[in-house]
Structures are given as structure tokens and as C-alpha cells.
Chains A and B, each alone.
Chain A
Amino acid sequence: GAGVSQTPSNKVTEKGKYVELRCDPISGHTALYWYRQSLGQGPEFLIYFQGTGAADDSGLPNDRFFAVRPEGSVSTLKIQRTERGDSAVYLCASSLGTLGAEAFFGQGTRLTVV
């Protein structure tokens, strides 16, 4: 596709439920990032993939959060036992993976936990 695509654009779930958020990066981009943006704040780093492997998952807040990228393209962010504090916009970005390559962001998935 022309840009980074994230689905769904909006997700409302009940506290305690499991959710999956999907990211389709730009074709050919080997690096993929997940960020979380709370209202009125800047994006906060969650995890970075280079190819299929998670090169840095130091931003994941706890073990309820997990992300995969099994074929080095599409990535899924998984959140177990959702809490109201997980409500935020989850942003995905991708880049060519070379040093200083520009990161392109998707429009985000707005997650609301009620």
C-alpha cells in the first residue's frame, strides 16, 4: 500500500477483555515500531522489530502486552486483560531500517477500554 495501514481505526472493549491491533507497514520496510499516545501527550515507544524479531521491547509496560511480526511484514499488538488505563491511540510506524531512515506513521488505532 501507499502508507502504513492500521486496523481497526477504533476499538471499544470491556475491561478484562483481550484485543489485537494490526499494522500493515509500507512494503519493503524492514523496521517496524509500535508507540502508544495518550491524550495530550507525545507518542511513547513500546517495541521495535527488525525483520521478524523484536530488537527492543523495553517499552512494553507489562506482560499483558505482546507483539508479533511472524513473516517480517504485518505486525499484531496483543493486549490481554485490558484495563481502563490502556485506553490510548496505538501508533505503528515503519522504515527501511537503514541508519537514519525516515519513519512513517500510520493513523493509529484508538483503543477505549470501558
Chain B
Amino acid sequence: QQQVKQSPQSLIVQKGGISIINCAYENTAFDYFPWYQQFPGKGPALLIAIRPDVSEKKEGRFTISFNKSAKQFSLHIMDSQPGDSATYFCAASVIFTGNQFYFGTGTSLTVIP
């Protein structure tokens, strides 16, 4: 059973455009929602994360929007660059039980120059 559902599976964006990736979850106990970026042959690297007490978090060109009532959260990449081309995973965890993550299935982002 997939605890975190992610869409789209793949995304192609022009350089300078906005990339949007969406995730949804069912378990209301989740209280930590990170996004990871993964390049081929590398492990995932933390990009940005949010707790459910805020609706939005921005770090540079990356923004997480969080809708607690809908149990959805999304990643927005502004001014997308070719170097952003990678696979992005959303995840969710319960911090107090050890913070093991439930990952989405990933979104392959390609930014065209």
C-alpha cells in the first residue's frame, strides 16, 4: 500500500519555467514532509522540508505548499534550470517514532535549455 502518492511520473519544463510536483498522503500521524532530489547513481539529498504547522516554506527557488485539511503538499521550482534535471521524491514521516520515511514513487524532471 503506497502511503504517499506522487504525480506526475515525469515532467518536462522549459528553462525559466515553473515545475510543480504534487503529493498526497493518508496517515494523519505524519508530521514531517521532506522533498529529496536524486541524480543518477547518487543517493537522495534533502532539498527542503516542512512541518504541518505552516502552509508554505520557501528556500531560494524552491517552495513547499502544504494543505493539511486536504492531506496534500507540493513542490514548486521557480525559474527552473537545466541543472535541476533530476528525480524528485516527496516523503513523509512521524518524527517521534524515529523519522523513517515513506517515499513517493518519484518524478523525473527534465528542464530543456
A103 to B32, CA, bound (A): 12
Is A56's CB under 8 angstroms from B99's CB? no
B98 engages A44 (CB within 8 Å) = no
Measured in the bound complex, the distance between the Cα atoms of B91 and A93 in whole Å is: 14
B18, CB-defined interface residue at 8 Å: no
A16 to chain B, nearest CB (A): 28
Q: A59 and B103: CB pair below 8 A?
A: no
A99 → B minimal CB distance (Å):
5
B105 contacts the other chain (CB 8 A)? yes
B residues in contact with A100, CB < 8 Å = 32, 51, 95, 99
The interface-forming segment of A35-43, A69-77, A78-86 is A35-43
A-facing mask of B89-113, CB < 8 A → 1, else 0?
Answer: 1010001111111111110000000
B106 touches A102 (CB 8 A): no
Distance from A88 Cβ to chain B, minimum over Cβ atoms (Å): 13
Q: Is the CB of A48 within 8 A of B98?
A: yes
Residues on A lying within 8 angstroms of B by beta carbon are: 4, 31, 33, 35, 40-45, 48, 50, 55-56, 59, 91, 93, 95, 99-108
* Extra inter-chain contacts (11) besides given A40-B105, A42-B106, CB under 8 Å: A31-B98, A31-B99, A41-B105, A42-B91, A42-B103, A55-B98, A91-B44, A100-B99, A101-B99, A104-B46, A107-B43
